[in-house]
Structure 1
């Protein structure tokens, strides 16, 4: 049985970024000033001092394509329609038969089936006799129902008991949950050593969230390069199972650790993209910076701007600050003083101080400042 527990632990674990800063050899993107993004030089770049920029009404507006006339379609007169089968003919054609479904002959778990359909009391009644006979899967289900109060009264103390029994029986999900309980001292005496033992057992059993958290423990207990090298295999296993935090960690370590093979280093941006697509806002911020600076691959200013904007709308304050700089310097978009000022106001309200942006804001017209404040007042982070 596979239940999906919470996978991020923050109480005692140091962040990956803190470990990376201790390395003597890190990627240029990690060493540079995080407020700086670069772009290739252009001839006669426009500034707010020597030209008046007409801002778009939409902050997401795309840059114009230049020129007053649309480009003519090359060889338009030479295009001939397809002579293949027509859509209406295709709709009437007989499709090939689907392959026959294989009959499932494995064991059927009635208790877990009831749990999946939302019949929690039925699930409890079916699982309890099996749990009392020592079935780890049934014990995990009983613990989950009790811990959340599904179908029965919420009882975290007895839930902890059943998680412990299921962990002893070899259920990886319960090993992970029991490790969290021991770590937090919730309904059982707090025991860091025992928690670490169960976390490692769960990680070695392939529980994705435990793999990530055991990697975090290794970096906390072994500061510097050694801890990161010990943690990398667990980060990789967790990332392969789709844990976004682990995907982000792998991208950073592939780019930063010495002695990483060229094949793995070339995959750093791929792992970062997976974490960004999973909605991890820090990965979205870094994806924007990497694309703009050409870290881990070729530069792509427009794509970098898009990722920065996504992270900014998700509420990432650093991305909001950087997005303001992108609008000022026309990186991946056109210059837009109102949009730049809007994101500066939003990030400043969140506590991000930037003297350069303050000077810019004070230098624009009063009506532009007012428009920026009005837009900032309407901003709500995307969920």
Structure 2
């Protein structure tokens, strides 16, 4: 199939803007929200966050869910200058109460960042988004169950939520679930399965998982001993800020060609 040129895409975007503007003038909330997106991203128009916010505000005033969320993000993140937590929270909560999982998750983060944190409210919001399959909330809810914050501590429930997020590709959830399975902590112990989840997390760029995988390859535990792979994952973990004195010594004792082979694989690494 022939690819469209950037010029063709630009014409399509400008056409969409013209249609949206015509509908917005008639009071169409979805068209107003679309104009907000176009001005925010600079698609078919010169990017202008103030105009984007204006269109989002008009759309949000009519109850458009996406516009409420976008407006909340703009104010909370201070995209127009200084953050405006009060206005940001107002619009974010409106979107969350209509069931938008991204907004529910953000409300959970806001509750967790209060001084002191409101863990009960955070858990309630994360649970709402997690039940809709939102991976970040599934992971955060797992953490709360693991630590007993806002909910009764329950390692089994923690493992269930970590597993759900891990299946969706959440690298931190894959790490925590892998450790639980490897150790038999709240779930049935299976070192082989646990190690595979650690590898999933490592391949997605988690430096702690990369360190654990390097140790497994270096010691030959679960995985067949492979010093080149050990060097690769150790280097990646170090680059990510996870040092390991034992692995430093292990790598230093290896033949130079083995070290170089591992280093080359680390340099060629691309996260999944």
Fold-level match, TM-score > 0.5? yes
Residue 232 of structure 1: how far off its partner (Å): 1.0
Q: How far apart, CA to CA, are the structure 2 residues paired with 1:331 and 1:223?
A: 43
Count of residue correspondences: 260
Residue 222 of structure 1: how far off its partner (Å): 4.4
1:237 aligns with 2:128: yes
The equivalent position to 1:253 in structure 2, one of 144, 147, 153, is 144
Q: 1:184 to 1:267 in 2, by over 3 A?
A: closer
2:94 aligned partner: 201
Q: Give ranges in structure 2 of 5+ residues lacking alignment.
A: 1-10
Q: 1:343 to 1:202 in 2, by over 3 A?
A: same
Q: 1:338-377 maps to which residues of 2 (within 5 A)?
A: 338-362=228-252, 364=253, 366-367=254-255, 369-377=256-264
Q: 1:60-71 maps to which residues of 2 (within 5 A)?
A: none
Q: Give ranges in structure 1 of 5+ residues lacking alignment.
A: 1-117
**Secondary structure, aligned partner of 2:113:** helix
**Secondary structure, aligned partner of 1:221:** coil
The equivalent position to 2:63 in structure 1, one of 170, 176, 184, is 170
**Secondary structure, aligned partner of 1:348:** helix
| Counterpart contact for 1:345–1:372, Cα < 8 Å | no
Q: 1:21-36 maps to which residues of 2 (within 5 A)?
A: none
Residue 294 of structure 1: how far off its partner (Å): 1.3
Q: How far apart, CA to CA, are the structure 2 residues paired with 1:351 and 1:268?
A: 26
TM-score normalised by length of structure 2: 0.84
Q: How far apart, CA to CA, are the structure 2 residues paired with 1:325 and 1:156?
A: 48
Deviations 1:295-316 (A, max 9, x none): 2310111111112122222222
1:219 aligned partner: 112
1:381 aligned partner: 270
2:77 aligned partner: 184
- Cα RMSD of the aligned pairs, angstroms, is 2.6
Q: 1:161 to 1:282 in 2, by over 3 A?
A: same
Q: How far apart, CA to CA, are the structure 2 residues paired with 1:189 and 1:361?
A: 48
Q: 1:1-383 maps to which residues of 2 (within 5 A)?
A: 119-187=12-80, 190-224=83-117, 227-257=118-148, 260=151, 266-362=156-252, 364=253, 366-367=254-255, 369-379=256-266, 380-383=269-272
Q: 1:188 to 1:260 in 2, by over 3 A?
A: closer
| Counterpart contact for 1:302–1:331, Cα < 8 Å | no
Residue 150 of structure 1: how far off its partner (Å): 2.6
Residue 151 of structure 1: how far off its partner (Å): 3.2
| Counterpart contact for 1:327–1:339, Cα < 8 Å | yes
In terms of Rg, which structure is larger? 1
Residue 258 of structure 1: how far off its partner (Å): 6.6
Q: How far apart, CA to CA, are the structure 2 residues paired with 1:259 and 1:228?
A: 4
- Higher RCO, 1 vs 2 (CA within 8 Å, ≥6 residues apart): 1
